[in-house]
Structure 1
């Protein structure tokens, strides 16, 4: 399993880097849209949609919503504080959703009483997870594009490295030193030692990035954004794990060998991207 994960990561990493750095705005947006639609298909399983036609209906809804957002975004890339079709509102709403998700995670399994029998509620949770992620990805990628094509690209790549570093650090430190479980009722494999290790690795990445690739923001603000985003990424991971545990599945899908589904790979980013975008673009 570990061998498959490593081989798949080696294949996917150049693709991701190319999509972020080398692709045009339209190509990047389309790739992000496809990823979100695949994630929405997998979310149908988490929402308890067992009938094929129901999941097709969910995909049609997401397709209309995301394509409408994309078309409006492409017509106005100049403004980041007044994004068309409610981009800003959706990114702000994501903060509220992740606060609610934190409460659901902290009180699980008791919290499941309120949503486990409602596919509608779980679909709403999926909308609040996937749509703001799409908005945040495009908003970060295109930030200040008219002034400098590279600023948003570097921000987005920094965030990805930060989340991947935290995830890898948590895995390595957790395997080596993990003794105290972080969320035993949701994900028994995660430990507090792993969390500390992930924070140490992400802090190192933040320091190196701030020194070699200045992001146009003071390090104090960058550090605050980074720490909050790392905690958000952990919450995103735990939230998906909570929904998977409730429907008794290990992976959200089987698209990526050794890694599970699309949601399994972007669960951390679904929370980190809109939270980072909100702080970097609107608060700071």
Structure 2
């Protein structure tokens, strides 16, 4: 399993970086829509849809929704201040605060949504739609002045999340004794969380010093730590929904890694939260 994970990662990481820097905004948006549709397909399991046909329709409807939102934007204008973008990012903050409460009080909190497909679908929309707009708003940030500016921002958030995940895994293996959320994800520890945050802080310092990011270092550090915490919450939230659905992986699209949601669960929280803080708050 580890061999497949490493091989798949070595293949996917260059593809992701190439997509960030080489695709134009429209092409990047199309790829992101496809990723979101695959995530919606997998979220169908969390919502209680066991039929393949139902999940296909769920993915198609998600794609139509995102495409309709994109087409509703003024031509050649991708400002984060547009209602569709700004509203989605602020809504994301509200959703992840609610998700934090659901995770903290799980499994008691599951009684509120366990038997409601509609609520679980709404939770899926609140996860996937803001993630899409977070990706688009960061990628197109400052595009008119520098075509690669937004790509650097997205690469930074991805490295931040991957670094936090790797740091948490390493510190958890070496020092982990105190469980972080045993009822949701027994493998996560407080020591791992601290290690992940320290890794994120190091990445933030290195990027702030050497990468072409035009931002005050203290602002970058604050946004980065909040985004790293959000990435942990995204992981825990998906684990909570998988536990309720009685599944180990969200899918098997990525050899050795499970499904799309298993790979982007942390990003679905970190990307819109970071975008909201960096582009709307600061």
Q: State the TM bucket, normalised to the shorter chain.
A: over 0.9
Gaps of 5+ in 2: none
Alpha-carbon shift at residue 231 of structure 1 (Å): 0.4
Alpha-carbon shift at residue 47 of structure 1 (Å): 0.7
Is the Cα–Cα contact under 8 Å of residues 143 and 152 in structure 1 kept in the other structure?
Answer: yes
| Structure-1 residue corresponding to 2:193 | 195
Alpha-carbon shift at residue 214 of structure 1 (Å): 4.1
When residues 17 and 205 of structure 1 are mapped into structure 2, their CA distance, relative to the original with a 3 A threshold, is same
When residues 80 and 185 of structure 1 are mapped into structure 2, their CA distance, relative to the original with a 3 A threshold, is same
**Structure 1 position 263 matched with structure 2 position 261:** yes
| Structure-1 residue corresponding to 2:168 | 170
Q: 2:118 aligns with which of 117, 120, 127?
A: 120
**Structure 1 position 76 matched with structure 2 position 76:** yes
Name the CA distance, whole Å, in 2 between partners of 1:260 and 1:79: 35
| Structure-1 residue corresponding to 2:28 | 28
The runs of at least 4 consecutive aligned structure 1 residues that moved more than 2 Å come to: 51-54, 69-80
Name the CA distance, whole Å, in 2 between partners of 1:22 and 1:132: 23
When residues 173 and 73 of structure 1 are mapped into structure 2, their CA distance, relative to the original with a 3 A threshold, is farther
- RMSD of aligned residue pairs (Cα, Å): 1.2
Is the Cα–Cα contact under 8 Å of residues 236 and 271 in structure 1 kept in the other structure?
Answer: yes
| Structure-2 residue corresponding to 1:181 | 179
> Secondary structure at the residue paired with 2:188?
strand
Is the Cα–Cα contact under 8 Å of residues 237 and 268 in structure 1 kept in the other structure?
Answer: yes
| Structure-2 residue corresponding to 1:222 | 220
Name the CA distance, whole Å, in 2 between partners of 1:173 and 1:3: 21
Q: 2:106 aligns with which of 98, 105, 108?
A: 108
Is the Cα–Cα contact under 8 Å of residues 37 and 60 in structure 2 kept in the other structure?
Answer: no
The normalised TM-score by structure 2 is 0.97
Alpha-carbon shift at residue 223 of structure 1 (Å): 0.7
| Structure-2 residue corresponding to 1:91 | 89
- What per-residue deviation string (whole Å, max 9, x for no partner) do you get for residues 80-127 of structure 1? 3225xx111011101100010000000000000000111110000000
Gaps of 5+ in 1: none
- What per-residue deviation string (whole Å, max 9, x for no partner) do you get for residues 40-78 of structure 1? 000000111112332233123212101112334582335
| Structure-2 residue corresponding to 1:65 | 65
Name the CA distance, whole Å, in 1 between partners of 2:80 and 2:145: 12
| Structure-2 residue corresponding to 1:204 | 202
> Secondary structure at the residue paired with 1:149?
coil
What is the total number of aligned residue pairs between the two structures?
282
Name the CA distance, whole Å, in 2 between partners of 1:184 and 1:49: 27
Is the Cα–Cα contact under 8 Å of residues 78 and 137 in structure 2 kept in the other structure?
Answer: no
Moved more, 185-194 or 207-216: 207-216
> Secondary structure at the residue paired with 1:75?
coil
